[in-house]
Chain A
Amino acid sequence: MHIHFLDPYRERSSPIHALDPRVKLVLTLAFILTAALTPVGAWPLFILLFAIILSVEIISELGVLYVLKRAALALPFVLAALPAIFTIPGDTLFSLPVGPWVLRASIPGLERFASIALKSWVSVQAGILLAASTPFPDLLLAMRALRIPRLLVTIFGLMWRYLFVLVDEALRLMRARAARSGLADQPGLKPGGSLVWRARVAGGMAGSLFLRAFERSDRIYMAMLARGYDGEVRSMPLPALRPWHALALVIVLSVLLLLLVMGFLFW
């Protein structure tokens, strides 16, 4: 079984896919920074940010539903911001009796919570768009352009290349265990052995996964040596940025800057 379902990249022929990966990475980061800097309660800005990301989703031909569905996966963390509704003082919106205490939801608290949730929601969508429209080797190129050290980029590249092999390996280990009834994920089924025994089995699996990774990395090193590796990683020079890509970069950056300036002036 192959685990390409993990790779979020979706091949399309949209302008977003054709955009230079360096521009895409910088714009994604700028968009997320803009969302993070947007003041709490600046609803018009949030609406405009959402309109921007929605437009890009439509242009990218990835399917708005696909992006929104994936974005929902990041939602559980919103729980961390939930207390803000009740702890920030302000006009009481409604109160919830919890045992002997009464939780008072305040309007500023609710505003804070909604702002955090919206920020995180549009940011996740930007991240999904980047990952779904850019093949990983292009992202490596963008990382190099952002001056990330070459050794780190090399480790990233090697990791990506063997990620699917090792995830396959982990899934095989898990299938072998499931076949021997060491795992019962469904409620109602009793898992075999004691808790410590199950943990030891999982630990043994992790250990053998690492051992296989060690041995595989030895073989990879031999293969690299045989092909002339001398400890130095060489890569092609970065291609020049095409004019309309640079133009797109400047335009979107100025739009985001304009939004931020508005946010700071009026909120």
Chain B
Amino acid sequence: MLLSPLPMHIPDGFLSVAVSLILWFATILVVAYALKRVGEDLGERQVPMMGVLAAAIFAGQMLNFTVAGGTSGHLMGAAIATILLGPWAAILVLTCVVGIQALIFQDGGLLVLGANIFNMGIVGTAVAYMAYHTVRRLTGERLWGILVGGFVAAWLSIEIAALGVGLQLAISGISPANIAIPAMGGIHALIGIGEGLITVGALAFLYSARRDLFQANQAGPVGGKTVWVGGLLIALVLAVASPLASAHPDGLEWVAEQKGFLDAAQGPLYNIIPDYVLPGISNEALATILAGIVGTLIVFAVGLLVAYSRRRVQTS
């Protein structure tokens, strides 16, 4: 859609129900923990700040720059939110951004919202935090450390999240691992450069305008080490698992067959009632035609009813 530059918002129907529910579960756990952390560590002042910053990230995703021809680079904002707010608040902010995109703008589905929050909010934030703080620790108090850290954090957060999306699509049996993962990873390796460049520009601007924003976060938030380790683990697992999975798509297909059983064509019941479509109708084509007739009748009746009631309102 117009507002989502990244092909990273998975719509409904593209993840198997099992994968969607598992990722919902993981997302709820992490977001609940982040809520607890933010409630403890941050003052009441942070509540309006997180709301307005979520709106700013949503609006910031509209900012683009011409790359070449008709293509352009955009901002996703996970890295910059993490750098400015710390990981826990960033997770909440990105949860709200992704949530509104799904709920209001149909950017990404509702059943797969948990997966989308997981990819863009949690994976993006943890990886960005890990990358940024590693680079800053190595470079000390210098501006170029912030800028390099920002670029690496932005690029890595996009790339790892994209690998995650590819892996989820493959596990769901939507597209084979040796196509989905290289495609997502390849496209986003380029998109990530755009994200990195914008993030660096934004950090340079903020550094000269409001240096205090960077010093405030210097101490690091409570539980920062957990996030760092989590980010490192996520990055390593996805960076290692994805090439492995795309090199051996058969193994993943096996997982897809096992996991996707809920929406795979043949359930165990299929064997009990073979060639038996509707009670009394032994032909699948007939069932489809019947459903077509019933569906048409429903829509027709509803249309008539609405037209009738509207005319009655107009005449009275």
Contacts and interface: CB of A to CB of B under 8 A. Distances in A.
Contact of A266 (B52, B84, B92, B277): B277
B230 to A, nearest CB: 21
A265 interface: yes
A165 B55 contact: yes
Contacts of B185: none
Interface string A45-89: 101101110110011010000000011011011001111100100
B264 A163 contact: no
Interface in B146-192: 169, 174-176, 179-180
Interface residues of B, number: 107
Contacts of B95: 152
A166 B80 contact: no
Interface string A127-161: 11011000010010000000001011011111111
Contacts of B7: 76-77, 80
B14 A266 contact: no
Given A152-B96, A167-B58, A221 B296 contact: no
B38 A151 contact: yes
Interface stretch (A91-99, A168-176, A235-243): A168-176
Q: Which of A84, A206, A214 has the most CB of B within 10 A?
A: A206
Contacts of B53: 210, 213-214, 217
Contact of A151 (B43, B47, B303): B47
Contacts of B100: 156, 159-160, 163
Nearest to B77: A206
A100 to B, nearest CB: 17
B92 A123 contact: no
B303 A158 contact: no
Interface string B5-20: 0010111111011001
Contacts of B20: 36
Given A32-B110, A70-B106, A207 B175 contact: no
Nearest to B17: A36
A18 interface: no
Interface in A170-211: 170-171, 173-174, 183-187, 191, 195-196, 198-211
B66 A198 contact: yes
- The residue in A35, A154, A204 that gathers the most chain B C-beta atoms within 10 A of its C-beta is A204
A52 to B, nearest CB: 7
A207 B199 CA distance: 8
A206 B59 CA distance: 9
Interface residues of A, number: 116
Interface of A: 6-8, 28-29, 32-33, 35-41, 43-45, 47-48, 50-52, 54-55, 58-59, 61, 70-71, 73-74, 76-77, 80-84, 87, 108, 111, 116-121, 123-124, 127-128, 130-131, 136, 139, 149, 151-152, 154-163, 165-167, 169-171, 173-174, 183-187, 191, 195-196, 198-214, 216-218, 220-221, 224, 229-231, 233, 262, 264-267
Given A163-B55, A214-B53, A262-B278, 14 more contacts: A44-B278, A127-B103, A155-B92, A156-B99, A159-B58, A166-B56, A166-B58, A169-B59, A174-B62, A185-B70, A202-B201, A204-B204, A217-B49, A220-B52
Interface of B: 1-2, 7, 9-14, 16-17, 20, 31-32, 35, 38-39, 43-45, 47-56, 58-60, 62-70, 72-73, 75, 80, 84, 92-93, 95-97, 99-100, 102-106, 109-111, 169, 174-176, 179-180, 194, 197-206, 209-210, 213, 262-265, 267, 269-270, 273, 276-278, 284, 287-288, 290-292, 294-296, 298-299, 302-303, 306
